[in-house]
Structure 1
Amino acid sequence: MPDPLSTLKAALSTESAASSDFDLNPDVVLPKGRKLRPAGVLMPIEISNGTPHVILTKRASHLKHHPGQIAFPGGKQDENDADVVAAALREAREEIGLPPEIVEVLGTLPTHETVTSFSMTPVLGLVKDAFDVIPEPGEVEEVFRVPLAHVTTSARFSVQSRRWQGQRRHYFTVPFGPYYIWGATARILRGLAERMERV
């Protein structure tokens, strides 16, 4: 049988530039010498009935940063993490109960700079076995799955905008049912979509 992830794996071997929350806002002037903290997010991919799905989270609405937003499980790299890949796997275990030992790391995407001063590395991982989803109390409101094809088809993305800190900011969106996927998560997925459509 054909590998349902063959296009994804081929896309990971192609080159593309780093991205940021400011890609669609060329008027933003970023300070020189700014300090970015390393972080890792996991894009967990499950195969269900031969179809790849991405596991995403909805952040709790009371959080200080990005409340209620759709996100990959992940967070900043701690001192005890060997690298950003280890950070992504650790955070996925803490946030959704995903055991690191059942994740096959497929590769990483270029870093993404966030408005909260993180240099975020997306880590793609194949979830090889079933697991019990356990949302982290107080941080993760919901865990859901979306077909990989939905979020890696560039035609499904649109650019929208809103006012933020007194300025008009533009960003990518790729809605799925009741879930409004936008911001850094959508930008990373858009970059992956562009790669997959080139192979």
Structure 2
Amino acid sequence: MDEQSLIELLQQRLRFSKRIQQADAAVLIAITQEQKPKVLLTRRSIHLSQHAGEVSFPGGKRDPSDTSNIVVALREAQEETALNPFDVKLLGDLPIQRARSGLSVKPIVGLIPAQVDLIAQPTEIDRIFFVPLQELIDAPPLPYEVRLARQSIYFPSMQVESEIVWGLTARMLVSLFQYGLGHQKKWPFLVNPPNFGLAKF
């Protein structure tokens, strides 16, 4: 895919849904506006009670005072990364996703300047990093082992920047590719290989 046209495609294809549904939480998928756009990702603090150490988008639960999904996403992004809401050029939203906890989560997509000063809020996240959008599009789905009490389940994942992107965050990226770029990424729901090296997709 021509990297120069990625931003143009996102601008052409993304819109805000006319049917407004207030979600339990919202995240901001922030993409740098440059020739080779990058996606802003964070790694959640290992001290959190839920999803500790997982890669995610800036975001969180709705506060009673939040008036829309957009407000939730921008407020949480500012709290977690110090991203100025006025630096975000909103493009649209993606379908609501359901988290493992049962919460409904709305992804909001926006463009940010290529150079922004961000600061990780240490009680919530311990790393802020950027991954080229094209690299995420091209990343093959690799099996990621999640150990439960009595068994292991293998989820598809993208392994980038020495981090593993899986679960809700990965599903939102696949949704971004589909709705924002018209690109259908092969993404199995679960992989259950007979052994780790022989995953079938």
TM range (shorter): 0.7 to 0.9
Q: How does 1:158-177 map to 2 (within 5 A)?
A: 158-166=142-150, 168-177=152-161
Report the counterpart of residue 7 of structure 1 in structure 2: 9
Change (3 A) 1:11 1:159: farther
**Aligned partner (choices 132, 136, 142) of residue 151 of structure 1:** 136
8 Å Cα contact 1:104-1:127 kept in structure 2: yes
Q: CA RMSD in A?
A: 2.3
Q: How does 1:123-138 map to 2 (within 5 A)?
A: 123-128=108-113, 130-138=115-123
Identity %: 33
CA drift of 1:141 comes to 0.3
Q: C-alpha deviations, 1:13-66, integer Å up to 9, x for none?
A: 6x9xxxxxxxxxxxxxxxxxxxx9611000111134x11100100111111001
Q: Provide structure 2 residue ranges, at least 5 long, that are not aligned to the other structure.
A: 185-201
Q: How does 1:1-199 map to 2 (within 5 A)?
A: 3-12=5-14, 38-48=24-34, 50-128=35-113, 130-153=115-138, 156-166=140-150, 168-195=152-179, 196=181, 197=183
Q: Provide structure 1 residue ranges, at least 5 long, that are not aligned to the other structure.
A: 16-35
| Cα distance in 2 for residues equivalent to 1:194 and 1:127 | 21
TM-score scaled by length of structure 1: 0.78
| Cα distance in 2 for residues equivalent to 1:163 and 1:132 | 37
8 Å Cα contact 1:157-1:190 kept in structure 2: no
Q: Which has the higher contact order (CA 8 A, sep 6+)?
A: 1
SS at match of 2:134: helix
8 Å Cα contact 1:81-1:87 kept in structure 2: yes
The count of residues paired between Structure 1 and Structure 2 equals: 174
SS at match of 2:107: strand
